[in-house]
């Protein structure tokens, strides 16, 4: 823990900012809609940029609309960056993304109030279009920020309403001039505070998650083609039932997840059945299998087990199986230094801690390409997220922000090893 060991954030002030930002694009029944680069997003950005300036941060906006507010350090060099995003899904809550950005501002405010300077500069970032709810891919801003997506491609991306990213940036006045890419955006370290978006911390009564890695993701669509026969007149031995093969694959996906164990998850979420009639054997069935693991070797093993099962089960039923990959990302490990600092500060603050993976994607996984990065999770009530009823208690928010504060102070004072 840093020298300023008794320093604490002002939880009420942080929650007040969350509520003020939640009023921008507020939905009638609760929750918020601030789709990326919409008029509501512009209003949210204006509010955040205003707060940054009030806190004395030097605000820089790049060509893709990523906002970075920097507080100088006594020794210069690249900043310790705190960040996340303020865009939301169509029916989002007040915490997803917003918490990471506004907790960053709360860290700055706390240090300002206490008159504490850090050796390294600090920066608070709000990245463009993390959700991907209007423009694909998600995490677009942070991906381009670290040089993983070229500007022209990003600007030409057309959203669900037909407009491009470039047009919308111009329309809301957030096409800045700061450069993108790793060379322009060096960081000493990156820390993101986020709601878990899953049920584990809430169910186990744990205050803080030290995120060790983001799960690798494998999405595969399988299409099975059989023969559509009469359910009454076709003996079982003469059937080629595409629905049966799909069902067997769904059951096997669960079995694979349990056999591999650990962090492995498997979900068959999407089904399309043809002809979808009570008394006709299905002949055209499409399903998706979503496999995730923090360990790339095990994720590949799960994929191999699944494909082997599909092959032999379809062959036994006389059904044709084809597949295509819808998404494939390797796991992203976070920095042990950052993880250890999160764990140590949670302990020092008397907060219970769980080392855990993130099952969802976050800007931190992009920043991990250019600097030691890590994440702090706080509980999501009932595991609910991307939903207007998303909730985290004020005390839980303050606890997470205090861990963030002291983790940032540690990283900004000491030497941080470069990207492992």
Interface residues with its own copies (CB under 8 A) are 196-200, 203, 215, 217, 219, 229-236, 238, 241, 243-244, 246-248, 250-251, 254, 257-258, 263-271, 273, 276-282, 288, 290, 292, 326, 358-361, 383, 385-386
User: CA-based Rg of the chain, rounded to a whole angstrom?
Assistant: 24
Identity of the residue, 59 or 273, whose beta carbon is nearer to its own copies in the bound complex: 273
H/E element holding 215? none
- The CB-of-280 to its own copies minimum distance in angstroms stands at 5
Residue 371's DSSP bridge partners are none
Distance CA 285, CA 243 (A): 6
- The CB-of-169 to its own copies minimum distance in angstroms stands at 27
The residue written with tokens 């009023």 in the block is 23
- The CB-of-316 to its own copies minimum distance in angstroms stands at 11
H/E element holding 114? helix 98-114
Backbone angles phi, psi at 42, to 5 degrees: -55, -45
Identity of the residue, 139 or 244, whose beta carbon is nearer to its own copies in the bound complex: 244
Pairing assessment for the beta strands 122-127 and 284-293 based on DSSP bridges:
unpaired
Q: Are 157 and 164 in contact (CB under 8 A)?
A: yes
Q: Is 352 left (phi over 0), alpha (psi -120 to 50) or beta?
A: beta
Identity of the residue, 241 or 363, whose beta carbon is nearer to its own copies in the bound complex: 241
Backbone angles phi, psi at 204, to 5 degrees: -95, 0
Burial class (CB in 10 A: 0-12, 13-18, 19+), 9: buried
Q: Is 56 left (phi over 0), alpha (psi -120 to 50) or beta?
A: left
Neighbours of 231 (CB within 10 A): 12
- The CB-of-270 to its own copies minimum distance in angstroms stands at 5
Give the orientation angle of helix 39-54 with respect to helix 98-114, to 10 degrees: 10
Identity of the residue, 7 or 265, whose beta carbon is nearer to its own copies in the bound complex: 265
- The CB-of-138 to its own copies minimum distance in angstroms stands at 11
Identity of the residue, 3 or 236, whose beta carbon is nearer to its own copies in the bound complex: 236
- The CB-of-401 to its own copies minimum distance in angstroms stands at 21
- The CB-of-133 to its own copies minimum distance in angstroms stands at 12
Residue 214's DSSP bridge partners are 332, 358
Burial class (CB in 10 A: 0-12, 13-18, 19+), 112: middle
Distance CA 415, CA 420 (A): 14
- The CB-of-234 to its own copies minimum distance in angstroms stands at 6
Distance CA 388, CA 359 (A): 20
Backbone angles phi, psi at 263, to 5 degrees: -85, 0
- The CB-of-243 to its own copies minimum distance in angstroms stands at 6
């Amino acid at each position: 823990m840093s020298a300023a060991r008794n320093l604490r954030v002002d939880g009420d002030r942080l929650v007040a900012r969350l509520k003020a930002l939640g009023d921008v694009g507020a939905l009638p029944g609760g929750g918020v809609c601030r789709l990326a680069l919409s008029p509501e997003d512009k209003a949210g950005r204006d509010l955040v940029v205003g707060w940054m300036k009030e806190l004395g941060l030097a605000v820089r906006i790049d060509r893709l609309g990523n906002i970075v507010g920097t507080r100088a350090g006594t020794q210069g060099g690249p900043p310790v960056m705190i960040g996340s995003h303020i865009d939301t899904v169509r029916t989002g809550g007040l915490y997803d993304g917003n918490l990471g950005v506004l907790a960053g501002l709360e860290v700055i405010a706390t240090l300002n109030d206490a008159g504490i300077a850090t050796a390294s500069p600090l920066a608070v970032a709000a990245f463009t279009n993390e959700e991907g709810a209007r423009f694909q891919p998600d995490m677009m801003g942070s991906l381009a920020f670290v040089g993983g997506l070229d500007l022209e491609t990003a600007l030409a991306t057309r959203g669900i309403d037909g407009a491009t990213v470039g047009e919308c940036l111009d329309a809301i006045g957030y096409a800045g001039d700061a450069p993108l890419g790793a060379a322009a955006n060096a960081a000493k370290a990156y820390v993101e505070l986020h709601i878990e978006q899953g049920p584990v911390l809430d169910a186990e009564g744990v205050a803080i998650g030290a995120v060790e890695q983001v799960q690798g993701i494998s999405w595969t669509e399988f299409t099975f083609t059989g023969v559509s026969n009469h359910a009454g007149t076709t003996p079982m031995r003469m059937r080629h039932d595409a629905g049966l093969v799909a069902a067997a694959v769904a059951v096997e996906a669960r079995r694979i997840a349990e056999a591999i164990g650990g962090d492995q998850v498997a979900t068959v979420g999407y089904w399309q059945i043809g002809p979808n009639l009570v008394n006709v054997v299905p002949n055209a069935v499409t399903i998706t299998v979503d496999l995730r693991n923090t360990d790339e070797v095990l994720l590949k093993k799960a994929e191999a087990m699944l494909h082997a099962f599909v092959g032999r089960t379809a062959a036994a039923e006389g059904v044709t199986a084809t597949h295509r990959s819808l998404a494939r990302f390797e796991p992203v490990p976070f920095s042990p230094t950052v993880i250890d600092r999160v764990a140590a500060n949670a302990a020092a603050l008397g907060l219970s801690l769980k080392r855990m993976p993130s099952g969802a994607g976050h800007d931190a996984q992009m920043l991990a390409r250019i600097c030691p990065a890590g994440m702090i999770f706080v509980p999501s009530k009932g595991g609910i997220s991307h939903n207007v009823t998303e909730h985290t208690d004020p005390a839980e928010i303050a606890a997470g922000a205090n861990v963030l504060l002291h983790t940032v102070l540690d990283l900004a004072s000491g030497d941080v090893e470069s990207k492992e």
